[in-house]
Amino acid sequence: MITASEPSWIAPFTGLSPRQFDKLITALRREGADPVRKGRPWSLPLEDRVLLVAAYWRTNLTLRQLAPLFGVSKSAAGRLIDGLGPALALQQRKRFRRDTVLIVDGTVRHEALDDRAGVKGLRHRAVAAVRLKLRAA
Protein backbone atom coordinates (compact mmCIF):
# COMPACT_ATOMS: atom_id res chain seq x y z
CA MET A 1 0.00 0.00 0.00
CA ILE A 2 1.17 3.52 -0.76
CA THR A 3 1.45 5.74 2.29
CA ALA A 4 3.00 9.10 3.13
CA SER A 5 4.56 7.60 6.25
CA GLU A 6 7.08 5.98 3.86
CA PRO A 7 9.09 8.98 2.52
CA SER A 8 10.11 7.14 -0.64
CA TRP A 9 6.51 7.43 -1.97
CA ILE A 10 6.30 11.22 -1.57
CA ALA A 11 8.69 12.47 -4.27
CA PRO A 12 7.44 10.35 -7.20
CA PHE A 13 3.77 11.21 -6.61
CA THR A 14 4.02 14.85 -5.49
CA GLY A 15 7.27 16.20 -6.90
CA LEU A 16 8.04 17.47 -3.41
CA SER A 17 10.76 16.56 -0.96
CA PRO A 18 9.48 15.05 2.32
CA ARG A 19 10.30 18.36 4.05
CA GLN A 20 8.26 20.38 1.52
CA PHE A 21 5.44 17.83 1.82
CA ASP A 22 5.41 18.30 5.62
CA LYS A 23 5.20 22.09 5.13
CA LEU A 24 2.24 21.58 2.77
CA ILE A 25 0.46 19.38 5.33
CA THR A 26 1.10 21.96 8.07
CA ALA A 27 -0.31 24.74 5.88
CA LEU A 28 -3.39 22.65 5.02
CA ARG A 29 -4.04 21.92 8.70
CA ARG A 30 -3.66 25.63 9.49
CA GLU A 31 -6.25 26.44 6.79
CA GLY A 32 -8.69 23.91 8.23
CA ALA A 33 -8.42 21.14 5.64
CA ASP A 34 -8.68 18.46 8.33
CA PRO A 35 -11.57 19.53 10.61
CA VAL A 36 -13.09 17.28 13.22
CA ARG A 37 -16.62 16.46 12.04
CA LYS A 38 -19.54 14.38 13.12
CA GLY A 39 -19.97 11.03 11.47
CA ARG A 40 -17.53 8.47 10.22
CA PRO A 41 -13.93 9.69 10.03
CA TRP A 42 -11.79 9.36 6.90
CA SER A 43 -10.06 6.01 6.64
CA LEU A 44 -6.81 7.74 5.61
CA PRO A 45 -4.87 10.40 7.51
CA LEU A 46 -4.52 13.83 5.89
CA GLU A 47 -1.00 13.03 4.65
CA ASP A 48 -2.23 9.99 2.72
CA ARG A 49 -5.22 11.88 1.35
CA VAL A 50 -2.96 14.63 -0.02
CA LEU A 51 -0.69 11.97 -1.52
CA LEU A 52 -3.70 10.30 -3.17
CA VAL A 53 -4.87 13.60 -4.72
CA ALA A 54 -1.36 14.39 -5.99
CA ALA A 55 -0.99 10.87 -7.41
CA TYR A 56 -4.34 11.23 -9.19
CA TRP A 57 -3.32 14.57 -10.71
CA ARG A 58 0.23 13.56 -11.66
CA THR A 59 -0.51 10.14 -13.14
CA ASN A 60 -2.99 8.92 -15.70
CA LEU A 61 -4.36 6.33 -13.30
CA THR A 62 -8.12 6.05 -12.99
CA LEU A 63 -9.85 5.97 -9.62
CA ARG A 64 -10.40 2.26 -10.13
CA GLN A 65 -6.63 1.76 -10.51
CA LEU A 66 -5.54 4.24 -7.84
CA ALA A 67 -7.92 3.36 -5.00
CA PRO A 68 -6.53 -0.13 -4.23
CA LEU A 69 -3.01 1.28 -4.07
CA PHE A 70 -4.13 3.37 -1.10
CA GLY A 71 -6.46 0.74 0.37
CA VAL A 72 -9.73 2.60 -0.22
CA SER A 73 -12.72 2.08 -2.48
CA LYS A 74 -13.13 3.82 -5.82
CA SER A 75 -15.98 5.96 -4.51
CA ALA A 76 -14.03 6.92 -1.37
CA ALA A 77 -11.07 7.97 -3.55
CA GLY A 78 -13.42 10.13 -5.62
CA ARG A 79 -14.83 11.77 -2.49
CA LEU A 80 -11.30 12.41 -1.22
CA ILE A 81 -10.28 14.10 -4.47
CA ASP A 82 -13.48 16.16 -4.66
CA GLY A 83 -13.16 17.21 -1.02
CA LEU A 84 -9.46 17.93 -0.75
CA GLY A 85 -8.74 19.06 -4.32
CA PRO A 86 -10.06 22.62 -3.89
CA ALA A 87 -7.90 23.09 -0.77
CA LEU A 88 -4.82 22.19 -2.81
CA ALA A 89 -5.74 24.29 -5.85
CA LEU A 90 -4.00 27.59 -6.36
CA GLN A 91 -5.69 30.92 -6.28
CA GLN A 92 -5.55 32.53 -9.68
CA ARG A 93 -2.23 34.20 -10.27
CA LYS A 94 -0.55 35.82 -13.28
CA ARG A 95 3.11 35.03 -12.66
CA PHE A 96 5.23 32.59 -10.70
CA ARG A 97 8.92 32.69 -9.86
CA ARG A 98 11.14 31.05 -12.48
CA ASP A 99 12.12 28.11 -10.28
CA THR A 100 8.53 27.31 -9.20
CA VAL A 101 7.43 23.73 -9.88
CA LEU A 102 3.79 23.41 -10.94
CA ILE A 103 1.57 20.33 -11.12
CA VAL A 104 -0.64 20.49 -14.19
CA ASP A 105 -3.63 18.37 -15.17
CA GLY A 106 -3.96 17.99 -18.92
CA THR A 107 -6.95 16.20 -20.40
CA VAL A 108 -7.14 15.43 -24.12
CA ARG A 109 -10.54 15.21 -25.76
CA HIS A 110 -11.56 14.90 -29.39
CA GLU A 111 -13.91 17.34 -31.08
CA ALA A 112 -15.71 16.88 -34.37
CA LEU A 113 -14.88 19.61 -36.88
CA ASP A 114 -17.69 18.94 -39.32
CA ASP A 115 -20.86 17.20 -38.18
CA ARG A 116 -23.19 18.24 -41.01
CA ALA A 117 -25.43 15.57 -42.48
CA GLY A 118 -24.15 13.96 -45.65
CA VAL A 119 -20.46 14.48 -44.92
CA LYS A 120 -18.43 11.29 -45.29
CA GLY A 121 -16.58 10.61 -42.08
CA LEU A 122 -15.98 13.12 -39.37
CA ARG A 123 -12.73 14.95 -39.06
CA HIS A 124 -11.56 15.21 -35.49
CA ARG A 125 -9.02 17.31 -33.71
CA ALA A 126 -7.47 16.75 -30.33
CA VAL A 127 -8.00 19.56 -27.85
CA ALA A 128 -6.05 19.73 -24.62
CA ALA A 129 -7.82 21.21 -21.63
CA VAL A 130 -5.02 22.16 -19.25
CA ARG A 131 -5.65 23.34 -15.71
CA LEU A 132 -3.07 24.37 -13.14
CA LYS A 133 -3.69 22.36 -10.00
CA LEU A 134 -0.99 22.79 -7.39
CA ARG A 135 2.19 24.71 -6.75
CA ALA A 136 4.70 22.11 -5.65
CA ALA A 137 7.35 24.36 -4.12
pLDDT of 74: 94
Mean pLDDT, to the nearest integer, of 43-69?
Answer: 90
pLDDT of 130: 55
Mean pLDDT, to the nearest integer, of 100-122?
Answer: 58
**Higher pLDDT pick, 18 / 37:** 18
Mean pLDDT, to the nearest integer, of 56-63?
Answer: 87
Residue (of 93, 74, 70) closest to 82 by Cα position: 74
Check whether 125 has a pLDDT greater than 60.
Answer: no
Q: What is the pTM of this model?
A: 0.65
Mean pLDDT, to the nearest integer, of 77-85?
Answer: 89
User: Could you tell me the pLDDT band of residue 103, with boundaries at 50, 70 and 90?
Assistant: low
**Higher pLDDT pick, 109 / 70:** 70
